Amino acid sequence: MKVTPAIFSSKDDIYSALSRLKNVAQQNPLPSAEERRQCLTRLQAALMDHETSLLDALQKDFGQRAHEESRLLELVPLLGEIKHAKRHLVKWMKPSKRKVHISTLPASAQVFYQPKGVVGVISPWNYPVLLSLGPLVGALTAGNRVMMKLSEFCPQTNQVLRDIVTHALGEDWVEVVEGEAEIANEFSLLPFDHLLFTGSTSVGHIIMRNAAEHLTPITLELGGKSPLLVAPSADLRDTAKKLVFGKVLNAGQTCVAPDYVMCHSDQKQTLIDYIKQELADYYPEGVLSPDYTSLINVRQLDRLKGYLEQARAAGVQCDNLMPQGPEESDGKLALYALHQPNDALSVMQDEIFGPLLPILTYADMSEALSYIQQRPRPLSMYLFTQQNEDQRRCEENITSGSLVINHTLVQVAQADLPFGGIGASGMGAYHAEEGFRTFSHSKSVLHKRGPNVLALLRPPYRRRIHRLVAKFRTFL
């Protein structure tokens, strides 16, 4: 039966919703594998039933976003994640056996994975379907109830998402919350059993402080500046193809989009020429091409144009790589190359989240790796190379949420890989088995049987006891 979703507009409303879900969770604290699988199956079916409505809503919220792009970037990885979770949830739920110390024998030990309770999810506007329902899949697989705070910048998509989750799951599993920044702030102050936030690093600081009020466990997916490093051995034509794929899909409004490029000085012009060719193939009419996605709103367009203005004022050369059409139109902005911007500029301090591409050059790989090492740890790093040694150096010397060799963006759609950042790019991970663990409490269970050997070691401690304790030390 379809449930009419509630609209929450105050702290009291969302607190009442949380209290209700906590009561539901207490009545059924350990949903069976079959209950969880049914939830995932119903969600899967509802997504398929509402696919056209979702794609239309995304088009309206963005102003221009091709259905094929939304399907590729949001629905395909999400449905893959659901399928993977359904296949593996029984194995993930199974308690893991652990060894017991010889002093405790006879006994058995295991780790039991139980739902945390009610999980809060705060999702962003750039991928409003994938980044709201993806965490929902992980939380449901672990047996939790969920409250989702959706972005206020995607009202049309939010309406369809409410219909999907209420139709598929009902009010015993999920509540949907909408509202401006004030509601989001109140949402993050609630005493959830776990809170996942996807968004900017600056807001992540606020979310973490708010969660600390109740010592709420938290997962932060923050993004940051993901470098794309072109090694001297790289195939530049292939690099340009993969770079354009990762940078211009969704107009660069992707947390793992390549944020800046580092290439050898001898490679730079050839790489730029290939990028221009690839862009011309993608978008023959430049920004007027119907497949080129708009920026979500005027605020984001003005922010990016501000970066360009600041860079030009500082003497940075900024080239439009899409000269086939106007530089901007109907909320769309052409992809620009910014040559050697200095680190003090906003475009090199902030996550760009749009079609601007700083290009830096290096003299040798050690210089490039040192540059990346000295900056905040990125959510993703991209390396283009034909040499295994380059891969080894990046694996060992660069700490990042993920490392992708000779491609971009595709790591997000890997259902069996965790997704998460480190340091300034976040903490914790979800997707795959790591997502199940994130939303589960790992409870130690020790079952003691038979005689209690440790009773021999009770006070008063005489010489015989000292000898016994000394022998136990050899088994530690």
Q: Which of 69, 74, 186, 221 is flagged as catalytic?
A: 221
Residue with tokens 């989240």: 353
The full DSSP string for 280-335 is HHH-TTGGGSTTSPPPSSHHHHHHHHHHHHHHHHTT--EEES-TTS-SEETTEE--
For residue 7, how many other CB atoms are within 10 A of its CB? 11
Residues 6 or more apart from 471 whose CB is under 8 A from it? Answer: none
Residue with tokens 């862009």: 279
Structure tokens at 248: 């211009």
Give the three-state DSSP class for 8: coil
Tell me how far apart the alpha carbons of residues 350 and 362 are, in angstroms, rounded to a whole number: 22
Q: Which of 39, 154, 255, 394 is flagged as catalytic?
A: 255
Ramachandran area for residue 170 (φ above 0: left; ψ -120 to 50: alpha; else beta): left
What residues does 307 pair with on adjacent strands? none
Whether 255 is catalytic: yes
CA distances from 34 to 14, 135, 440 (A): 29, 20, 17
Is the peptide bond preceding residue 460 cis, with omega within 30 degrees of 0?
yes
Residues 6 or more apart from 199 whose CB is under 8 A from it? Answer: 122, 124, 207, 221, 222, 223
Query: Per DSSP, which regions of 125-193 are E strands?
Result: 145-149, 174-177
Instruction: Determine which helix (DSSP H) or strand (DSSP E) holds 273, and give its type and residue range.
Output: helix 268-282
Structure tokens at 11: 């702290």
Whether 395 is catalytic: no
Q: Are strands 107-115 and 440-448 parallel, antiparallel or unpaired?
A: antiparallel
Structure tokens at 19: 């209290």
Tell me how far apart the alpha carbons of residues 221 and 381 are, in angstroms, rounded to a whole number: 15
Tell me how far apart the alpha carbons of residues 159 and 170 are, in angstroms, rounded to a whole number: 15
With beta carbons less than 8 A apart as the criterion, state whether 435 and 418 touch. yes
Query: Per DSSP, which regions of 212-286 are E strands?
Result: 218-221, 226-230, 258-264
Decide: residue 262, CB within 10 A, 0-12 exposed, 13-18 middle, 19+ buried.
Answer: buried
Catalytic site residues? 221, 255
